[in-house]
Amino acid sequence: MAVNLGINIDHVATLRQARLTIEPDPVAAAVLAELGGADGITVHLREDRRHIQDRDVELLRQTVRTRLNLEMAAAPEIVDIAVRLRPDQATLVPERRQELTTEGGLDVVQAKAGLQKVVSRLKDAGIAVSLFIDPDPEQISAARAVGADQIELHTGPYAEVSLRPGRTQPASIDDRLRGRFVPGTDQVAAELARLESAARQAGALGLILAAGHGLTYWNVAPVAAIDGMHELNIGHSIIARAVLVGMERAVREMKEAMGGAVR
């Protein structure tokens, strides 16, 4: 079955906020991403509002024709906004003020009681709930226990080892542009094995499986090929390419790269 691609458009808003102006508009970016074949639009409404603003989420709720996935901390103010706007899905993530981007998955084991309340409040509002977690057996069991519908596996560590220069390089620039990736090192294999084992556990527990963070045109294929994978959420790599070639083409090329698994 084809894997769905959710496009994280936060970085379109990052560019706008760099000048505190009105362009580029993430709402326009979402329309073009959908025209390029996106299966969903993801935005992270951070508590510090560093990129996506409340106005963006409100407009996206009205304009997104695929699925709107709201990434968010389990913070009361943001949960209230989610319950009011009712995105199709909420993805709970940890949030730290100083981080450049989300670092590490949620500690569901430690925050179980609080998360359980947030998950049921969101689900009662008709919102599907995904938890962004590390591919760790205890976290996956805890995600099931707090009532999540889906888990999004943190692919950051996989991305780290698959991108390090001199370790695992795409065979050529041409391969890189076509999204072909040559899994070359033990570290890459080990990270993929962790993701695959997490995927099996999620399947056994009846959790829908997603993954994301740090995925690019040349490291995405093996993750897209993991058995049971339902959705990938990708932001930086697609927006970086969209700046050069346009959003529709950047999305289309990522979908092609997801289909070209080299295992």
Query: Of 42 and 168, which CB lies nearer to ligand PXP in the complex structure?
Result: 42
Helices (H), 18-136: 26-35, 54-63, 76-85, 112-124
With 0-12 / 13-18 / 19 or more C-beta atoms within 10 angstroms meaning exposed / middle / buried, residue 18 is exposed
Cα 109 → chain centroid: 21
Site for ligand PXP contains 10 (CB under 6 A): yes
The interface mask with ligand PXP, positions 15-54, x = CB under 6 A, is -----------------------------x----------
Site for ligand PXP contains 212 (CB under 6 A): yes
Q: Is 213 a catalytic residue?
A: yes
- Residue 234 CB, shortest distance to ligand PXP, in Å, is 4
Q: Is 47 a catalytic residue?
A: no
Q: Which of 44, 51, 95, 196 is catalytic?
A: 44
- Rounded to whole angstroms, how far apart are CA atoms 5 and 219? 15
- Residue 152 CB, shortest distance to ligand PXP, in Å, is 5
Residues 131/124, Cβ–Cβ less than 8 Å: no
Q: Is 11 a catalytic residue?
A: no
- Residue 120 CB, shortest distance to ligand PXP, in Å, is 21
Among 51, 144, 213, 241, binds ligand PXP (CB under 6 A): 213
Applying the rule CB under 6 A, the residues between 146 and 165 that interact with ligand PXP are: 152
Strand partners, 91: 71, 130
Q: Which of 71, 95, 191, 231 is catalytic?
A: 71
Nearest residue to 66 via CA among 86, 32, 38: 38
Residues 125/89, Cβ–Cβ less than 8 Å: no
Site for ligand PXP contains 139 (CB under 6 A): no
Strand partners, 89: 69, 128
Give the residue numbers marked as catalytic.
Answer: 44, 71, 213
